Chain A
Amino acid sequence: MSSASFAWFARHEIGLFWRDWTALVLRGKPHRRIFVGLAIAGFIIGMHVVAWFTVTDTVDLAATDPRAVFIFVSGCALVSLSLMVSQSLEMVTRAFYARADLDLILTSPAPSARIFIVRFCAVALMSVVMSAALAAPFFNVMAFLEGPVWLLSYFALLSMSAIATAIAIVVAVALFATVGPRRTRVIAQIIAAVIGAGFAIAMQLVAIVYFGNVSRLSVLTSPELTGSLPPVASPLWIPARALLGDISAVLAFCIAGFGILALSIAAFSSRFATLALSTVGVSEQSAANSARPARFRAGTVRRTLRRKELVLLARDPWLLSQTLMQMLYLLVPAFLLWRNYGTDIGAVIVVVPVVVMASGQLAGGLAWLTLCGEDAPDLVQSAPMSPHIALQAKIEAVLIAVGLAVSPIVAFLGLVDLRAAAITAGCMVLSASAATAMQVWFRAQARRSHFRHRHASSKIATLAEAFSSICWAGTAAFLALGNWLAAIPAAMAILVLVFVWMIRPREA
């Protein structure tokens, strides 16, 4: 293998990826291999069981109208594609900004475009993995039932990821050209978040509006839609037919998919190195100036810390995109509740659990940022104050930030229904406090920029945080309805909190 060839770069990348992945999964404990292996095997078997039963329903659909199957598969493919584009955009952008070994490679005599081409092909492979985890069991079950031709569907999936990567490359290059390297990363993150959630949410909202439930399947199998579909032979069905194992469709779809990726790479590969170099030393913060005049404010140590945390939170663009995502996802349950119960119990009541749930989730994220994502831990620790003061100030900052975010909604509720507003405020405090407490107990020092990996530090805390927020949302909903059943989710929320406290790491 000659040095700096495509194969040489690919081997280098695979080696690095494998080490990163094993380090992430095993966390330095080789004995976890067995546990991880068993978990993966369990997931694969479970997914195949699910696929086995689901395939029967799909076959029933096929008996009525093949286009119903096509539209169902196309809908699923579009959801997958939106997730793939979201994931690819994030990874493609990161490839331009990551410095690790890029400076070394770019300063070497090796053709710089090769490393990017290898990395973008890796992006295509990576983005197919997540979809394959869900789709592969279906392909395998169909291959078992109908014959090995179904295994060709894997190529269709690969073609989809190639298209997603091509879209991501075009979007990333366009962002560099329009908003510049300073802002591209943040805007790409926001676009990725919106694309990832947007399509699935839109389908759910349509399902709720027209069919009264949250299932995307309702939209895809509705007579209104199937009645207006193009004929079976239409080229529009090529992706669906490819995913269903049709040889000619697989061939056409692969030529199209890989062709689009090749075209996008060919069109922009000469600019990859330039774009990567343009990101050196830029920061989205460096352009921003503080408009505040140079006037220091008096205050206690606690107030100083609180103020600093609030300023940092307000200036966090990643937090903005994450909050936007959470709000987008909460649209679905809010809309479903309004659709199902709004006319009977008052539309205002359905907002109550949604706000409570959002408060808990938001508090969890903010608590991680303030407690774990402290970028100057030595400074705070070397300051003349008790560690409790710093902790208190940070917790206060989290609760204030959550309060500021949701208080307009609570205030609006108060105008319409004072009791509902009071319940929302009370449960919101409980939900946010519980999520914050969990982050306090499981806190571990990290960089603020590692926010997107925060769930990896403690999956138990993350799950408990979500479950606690759901329980407090349930409590708020029942209280708003004046139902004594509110005691049940409240008790569950308290039990979760006690459980998390009992299993907390002792050194925290």
Chain B
Amino acid sequence: MTVRQEDAPALSIAGLFKSFDKPAVCGLDLEVEAGEFYALLGPNGAGKTTTLRMVAGLLPPDSGSISIYGIDALFHPVEAKRVVAWVSDEPMIYDKLSPLEYLEFVAGLWSVDNRAAEARSGELLELLGLAPHAHERCGGFSKGMRQKVALAGALVHEPRLIILDEPLTGLDAGSARQVKSVLQERVAGGVTVIMTTHILEVAERMARRIGVIDRGRLIAEGTLEELRARSGRDGSNLEDIFLDLVAESGSGADEAAA
């Protein structure tokens, strides 16, 4: 029997392993507090997406444990999924549904009361600038609009933990600002956000804590100040710190060049 602990961390990962042809995640330990905006950074192929997919219940780990608000996500996946929303870099929407129909579908999957879902959908579409397109089918939408529809879908069931994998990829400045603003509002309201991004400025400005992952291991974690202190470069920006950390870890040469 799972008992949700109100003071439990939003996410607690311990000894997580996942291998494909080669190890992707190697004994990862990670803890994110409730109501925190956490940015997970790392070079390409570091294991960020694999980790988050395991948290969202989209990939079974080889070993280790994942706990979401005190719920063991591996033994009680349905309970855990109830409080989680997942947004990938490739928007998961249906071309032949309109945004409103999509939100109705997502609300149905999370068993949200239809009246509440309807009201919330209207607000979200308005907030994200999608209201004029609420009845158009998504097939003709731009990448940014599709991403915003996917984000609205993630928010319509009011999750306590939102996991976003590169949510700002391909968004224009206006759309990116709308998405960031919506996420910050949620965090202010007590929701936990975990986000991977290659846009380090976003992590620098929005995240309370930042984790750097490389070769499936967490190589550094802390607030920006803590990471600065660790790297010994006072006043340096996150990009410098990140490149130093990854270079130290051993796989950063290519990333630094990029």
Chain A residues with CB under 8 Å of chain B are 281-292, 294-301, 303-305, 307-308, 311-312, 315-316, 375-386
- B140/A385 in contact, CB under 8 A: no
State in angstroms the CA–CA spacing of A116 and B127 once bound together: 45
- A281/B81 in contact, CB under 8 A: no
Please judge, given known A-B contacts A289-B98, A316-B96, whether A296 and B86 are in contact too, CB under 8 Å. no
Interface centre among B57, B108, B136 (most CB of A within 10 A): B108
Q: How far is the CB of A18 from chain B (nearest CB, A)?
A: 27
- B137/A290 in contact, CB under 8 A: yes
Chain B residues with CB under 8 Å of chain A are 56-58, 78-82, 84-86, 88, 92-98, 100-101, 104-111, 113-115, 117-118, 121-122, 134-142, 153
Q: How far is the CB of A403 from chain B (nearest CB, A)?
A: 21
User: Which of B80, B92, B135 is the one whose CB lies under 8 Å from A289?
Assistant: B135
Please judge, given known A-B contacts A288-B137, A378-B58, A380-B109, whether A385 and B94 are in contact too, CB under 8 Å. no
- B56/A382 in contact, CB under 8 A: yes
Determine the chain B residues whose CB is within 8 A of the CB of A377 once the complex forms: 92
Determine the chain A residues whose CB is within 8 A of the CB of B88 once the complex forms: 378
Determine the chain B residues whose CB is within 8 A of the CB of A283 once the complex forms: 95, 137, 139-140
User: Which of A315, A385, A386 is the one whose CB lies under 8 Å from B109?
Assistant: A385
- A375/B94 in contact, CB under 8 A: yes
Determine the chain B residues whose CB is within 8 A of the CB of A281 once the complex forms: 140, 142
- B109/A301 in contact, CB under 8 A: yes
Give the nearest-CB partner of A308 in chain B: B105
- A305/B96 in contact, CB under 8 A: no
Give the nearest-CB partner of A379 in chain B: B92
Determine the chain A residues whose CB is within 8 A of the CB of B81 once the complex forms: 382-385
User: Which of B84, B101, B141 is the one whose CB lies under 8 Å from A311?
Assistant: B101
Determine the chain A residues whose CB is within 8 A of the CB of B98 once the complex forms: 289-290
Determine the chain B residues whose CB is within 8 A of the CB of A297 once the complex forms: 104, 114
Q: How far is the CB of A451 from chain B (nearest CB, A)?
A: 13
- A296/B140 in contact, CB under 8 A: no
Determine the chain B residues whose CB is within 8 A of the CB of A303 once the complex forms: 108
- B96/A315 in contact, CB under 8 A: yes
Determine the chain B residues whose CB is within 8 A of the CB of A291 once the complex forms: 135
Please judge, given known A-B contacts A378-B58, A382-B57, whether A286 and B106 are in contact too, CB under 8 Å. no
State in angstroms the CA–CA spacing of A299 and B110 once bound together: 11
Give the nearest-CB partner of B59 in chain A: A381
Determine the chain B residues whose CB is within 8 A of the CB of A376 once the complex forms: 92-94
- B84/A382 in contact, CB under 8 A: yes
State in angstroms the CA–CA spacing of A336 and B94 once bound together: 42
Determine the chain B residues whose CB is within 8 A of the CB of A380 once the complex forms: 109
Give the nearest-CB partner of A378 in chain B: B92
Q: How far is the CB of A384 from chain B (nearest CB, A)?
A: 4
State in angstroms the CA–CA spacing of A152 and B132 once bound together: 63
- A381/B104 in contact, CB under 8 A: no
State in angstroms the CA–CA spacing of A405 and B178 once bound together: 44
Nearest 7 A-B pairs (CB), nearest first? A286-B140, A304-B108, A285-B139, A376-B92, A383-B109, A384-B81, A283-B139
Interface centre among A281, A294, A303, A316 (most CB of B within 10 A): A294
- A386/B96 in contact, CB under 8 A: no
- B139/A284 in contact, CB under 8 A: yes
Please judge, given known A-B contacts A285-B140, A286-B137, A305-B109, whether A296 and B57 are in contact too, CB under 8 Å. no
- B136/A308 in contact, CB under 8 A: no
- B118/A379 in contact, CB under 8 A: no
Determine the chain B residues whose CB is within 8 A of the CB of A282 once the complex forms: 140
| New A-B pairs, 9, CB < 8 Å, besides A382-B84, A383-B106 | A283-B139, A286-B141, A290-B97, A291-B135, A304-B105, A308-B97, A375-B95, A382-B56, A383-B110
Determine the chain A residues whose CB is within 8 A of the CB of B121 once the complex forms: 294, 296
Give the nearest-CB partner of B142 in chain A: A281
State in angstroms the CA–CA spacing of A300 and B82 once bound together: 15
Q: How far is the CB of A69 from chain B (nearest CB, A)?
A: 51
Q: How far is the CB of B158 from chain A (nearest CB, A)?
A: 13
- A304/B109 in contact, CB under 8 A: yes
State in angstroms the CA–CA spacing of A292 and B105 once bound together: 14
Determine the chain A residues whose CB is within 8 A of the CB of B101 once the complex forms: 290, 292, 311
Give the nearest-CB partner of B139 in chain A: A285
State in angstroms the CA–CA spacing of A395 and B38 once bound together: 40
- A312/B97 in contact, CB under 8 A: yes
Interface centre among B92, B104, B107, B109 (most CB of A within 10 A): B109
- B106/A379 in contact, CB under 8 A: yes
- B78/A298 in contact, CB under 8 A: no
Determine the chain B residues whose CB is within 8 A of the CB of A308 once the complex forms: 94, 97, 105, 108
State in angstroms the CA–CA spacing of A287 and B140 once bound together: 8
| Pairs across A and B, CB under 8 Å, 22 listed | A283-B95, A285-B95, A285-B96, A289-B135, A289-B136, A290-B100, A290-B135, A296-B104, A299-B108, A301-B108, A307-B108, A308-B105, A312-B94, A315-B137, A375-B95, A376-B93, A382-B58, A382-B81, A382-B84, A383-B109, A384-B79, A386-B78
- A296/B136 in contact, CB under 8 A: no
Determine the chain B residues whose CB is within 8 A of the CB of A290 once the complex forms: 97-98, 100-101, 135-137
State in angstroms the CA–CA spacing of A382 and B141 once bound together: 24
Determine the chain B residues whose CB is within 8 A of the CB of A285 once the complex forms: 95-96, 137-140
Determine the chain A residues whose CB is within 8 A of the CB of B78 once the complex forms: 384-386
Please judge, given known A-B contacts A285-B140, A386-B78, whether A296 and B114 are in contact too, CB under 8 Å. yes
Q: How far is the CB of A421 from chain B (nearest CB, A)?
A: 34
Determine the chain A residues whose CB is within 8 A of the CB of B122 once the complex forms: 294
Determine the chain B residues whose CB is within 8 A of the CB of A315 once the complex forms: 96, 137
Q: How far is the CB of A377 from chain B (nearest CB, A)?
A: 8
Interface centre among B92, B96, B106, B110 (most CB of A within 10 A): B96
Q: How far is the CB of A162 from chain B (nearest CB, A)?
A: 35
State in angstroms the CA–CA spacing of A378 and B106 once bound together: 12
Give the nearest-CB partner of B106 in chain A: A379
Determine the chain B residues whose CB is within 8 A of the CB of A379 once the complex forms: 86, 92, 106, 109, 153
State in angstroms the CA–CA spacing of A296 and B109 once bound together: 13
- A294/B118 in contact, CB under 8 A: yes
State in angstroms the CA–CA spacing of A281 and B101 once bound together: 22
State in angstroms the CA–CA spacing of A176 and B85 once bound together: 42
Q: How far is the CB of A321 from chain B (nearest CB, A)?
A: 16
